[in-house]
A and B are shown apart, each in its own frame.
Chain A
C-alpha cells in the first residue's frame, strides 16, 4: 500500500505571497489532517477533513485554510505569507471513523518564506 504523499517537498516563497500544498492519503483513508512543525512550537495541529468537510480545527489564523476533494485528496492554502510561516507542513491520514486510531504521516513539505 502506498503511503501518504505530499507535494512539493520543498517550496520557497516571498512574504505576502500565497501557497498551496497537496496531500494524497493512503488508499481507503477518508480523513486527512494537517500539522505544522517548527523548532520553537513543535508539531501543532492545523485542521482535519473527512468526506470533504472540516471536522476539527486548531488555533491558527484564518490565513490557513484547507479543502478535501471527493477522492480524499487534500490541499492546504496559506495566504499572505509571513516569515513565521516557515515550517515543515505535514499531512496525515487515517480511516477517520474513530479518533482512537493512529495517524500515518507523509514526509512533509518544507516551506521557506523570505
Chain B
C-alpha cells in the first residue's frame, strides 16, 4: 500500500523555466510534508517543508503548495537551474496508529528532474 505517490518517474525542463513536481498521498493522518533532493552517492538533502495548517510555503526559488482536500502537494522551482538536476522525493509524516511518528517519514518513489542548459 503506497501511501505517498509520485506518479511521474521523470521530468525534463529547460534552464530558466519552471519545474513542477507533484505528489499525492492517501493517509489522512499525514499532517507534515517535506521535499528532499538526492544526488547519486549522497543522502537526501532537505529542501522545504509544509505543515497541514498552511497551503503554501516559500524558500527562495522553491515553493511548496498543499491541497488537503485533494491530498496533493507540489514543489515549484523557479527558475530552474542545471544544478537542480537530481532525484526529488516527497515525504510525509503524521501520528500513526501506534500513536507515535518520531523519526518516521513515508517517502514517495522519487522523480528524476533533468534541467537542460
Residues of A within 8 A of B (CB): 4, 6, 31-33, 42-45, 47-50, 55-56, 58, 90, 92, 94, 96, 99-100, 102-108
Of the listed stretches B18-26, B43-51, B62-70, name the one at the interface; the rest are far from the partner chain: B43-51
Residues of B within 8 A of A (CB): 31-32, 34, 36, 41-46, 49, 51, 89, 91, 93-95, 98, 100-110
Q: With A and B bound together, what is the CA distance between A58 and B36 in angstroms?
A: 20
Structural contact, B93 and A100, CB atoms closer than 8 A: yes
Structural contact, A45 and B105, CB atoms closer than 8 A: yes
Smallest Cβ-Cβ distance to A9: which chain B residue:
B41
Structural contact, B43 and A33, CB atoms closer than 8 A: no
Smallest Cβ-Cβ distance to A43: which chain B residue:
B107
Partner of B102, one of A6, A48, A105, A107: A48
Smallest Cβ-Cβ distance to B43: which chain A residue:
A105
Smallest Cβ-Cβ distance to A55: which chain B residue:
B102
- Please name all residues of chain B whose beta carbon is closer than 8 Å to the beta carbon of A107 when the two chains form the complex: 41-43
Interface of A is mostly: strand
* A43-B89, A107-B42, A107-B43 as given contacts; A56 in contact with B32, CB under 8 Å: no
A sample of 26 inter-chain contacts (CB < 8 A) reads A31-B102, A33-B104, A42-B109, A42-B110, A43-B105, A45-B105, A48-B103, A48-B104, A49-B103, A50-B103, A55-B103, A56-B98, A56-B100, A56-B103, A56-B104, A96-B103, A99-B94, A100-B31, A100-B93, A102-B49, A105-B36, A105-B44, A105-B45, A105-B46, A106-B43, A107-B43
